[in-house]
Structure 1
């Protein structure tokens, strides 16, 4: 009997003609409702941030636009809160790779792009964690991607305010030359919070006359008011 990848309780799924040839669920009916993305919230159409009642336009995108050319669209799977926040920590820092199964990438979106490019991980972090938490999800779902970025070692971003992050130099660089002009690019990362990481990556691509840059993240966080 299959067990839930989150709580390890048995999944009792009745087999019928409708699901006979489909893959069985890896999440039980108790855990599944806790993994959410609230479509009813008033959100920025570009970055999906939940807008406050005082925001007529997204202040995060406005803040980013003062320094960067903005990405076209963010796609995400979950809100980074509650159970999903605990699971992402368990996955990234405790090495529970079974948790990667909860991140089901939208294949209908992936197929729209010329190149899928993941955010890079520094070799020191890779050695500590023993796996790349972004490309691992892509690999287990057989998604074709290229890695053209590398990064300098940075202070843990969640320990910094948005202002402190913005004062850092761009830590990323492109390590190989490929033809990117007029291409549609999808950047993939685990969590979108302030948007700085994604826009620092996109900054290196826009100068190569990209047609469009979108982003897919496993979860969409908030900045918790940090400025």
Structure 2
């Protein structure tokens, strides 16, 4: 048995040695923390994974996005954006607990490996955000998966988007632009899927560079 420290709650716990654990990756979180990640089995949009309201036959968010953008080829969301994931993401992004990149990477890695794509691109932060935080939060996560990725997609600095409605967000111009070569099939990696506007704008810029397929993998769905 090995005594290890959970990267989330920082408590020491015992990892019992078994055939399964002997051949698995080094443990980084305790069972109590790992069980708190949730993806509620309720009626959802088959495309964007949004929880549908009782009277919502067709997803209003998807109908809204289709009026403005070509649909994304696939949207995969790992967990719900509940109090647990919100606090974890906040601790990582705003309290700058960079060690938590290992936790997010551990969840992302098997999903990235099973998907088909030509290029993995972490959704970028602006140079101002990177300077303020000290690291590019999504690039740091993907780097820790050990999977090859590129960063030709860039973004200009913009005001904080949290709390804004779709209409308010639409008033801003598209902040994304390309520097470098782009493959035909792209997998975008992001932390939170809220209205979907951010990733649709990123996909719009990619498709202007003749990208034929854009998939999105996000950690949490609001």
TM-score clears 0.5: yes
2:169 maps to which of 165, 168, 178: 165
2:204 corresponds in structure 1 to: 203
1:130 corresponds in structure 2 to: 134
Deviates more, 1:103-112 or 1:185-194: 103-112
Aligned-partner SS, 1:117: strand
1:154 maps to which of 130, 144, 158: 158
1:33 corresponds in structure 2 to: 35
2:59 corresponds in structure 1 to: 58
1:86 Cα offset (Å): 0.3
Partners in 2 of 1:17 and 1:190 — Cα distance? Answer: 33
| Runs (5+) with no aligned partner, structure 1 | 222-227
1:172-187 maps to which residues of 2 (within 5 A)? 172-176=176-180, 178=181, 180=183, 183-187=184-188
Q: Please give the TM-score of this superposition, normalised by the length of structure 2.
A: 0.92
Partners in 2 of 1:29 and 1:148 — Cα distance? Answer: 38
2:71 corresponds in structure 1 to: 70
1:211 Cα offset (Å): 2.8
Structure 1 segments of 4 or more deviating over 4 A?
A: none
2:21 corresponds in structure 1 to: 19
2:124 corresponds in structure 1 to: 120
1:8 corresponds in structure 2 to: 10
Instruction: Report if the CA contact (8 A) 2:152-2:182 is conserved.
Output: no
| Runs (5+) with no aligned partner, structure 2 | none
Partners in 2 of 1:121 and 1:179 — Cα distance? Answer: 18
1:61 Cα offset (Å): 0.6
Partners in 1 of 2:144 and 2:20 — Cα distance? Answer: 25
Does 1:107 pair with 2:120?
Answer: no
Partners in 1 of 2:216 and 2:11 — Cα distance? Answer: 34
Aligned-partner SS, 1:12: strand
Partners in 2 of 1:15 and 1:117 — Cα distance? Answer: 36
Instruction: Report if the CA contact (8 A) 1:118-1:134 is conserved.
Output: yes
1:108 Cα offset (Å): 5.0
1:15 Cα offset (Å): 0.5
Partners in 2 of 1:51 and 1:102 — Cα distance? Answer: 29
* Count of matched residue pairs: 217
1:11 Cα offset (Å): 2.0
Partners in 1 of 2:145 and 2:51 — Cα distance? Answer: 29
Instruction: Report if the CA contact (8 A) 1:34-1:82 is conserved.
Output: no
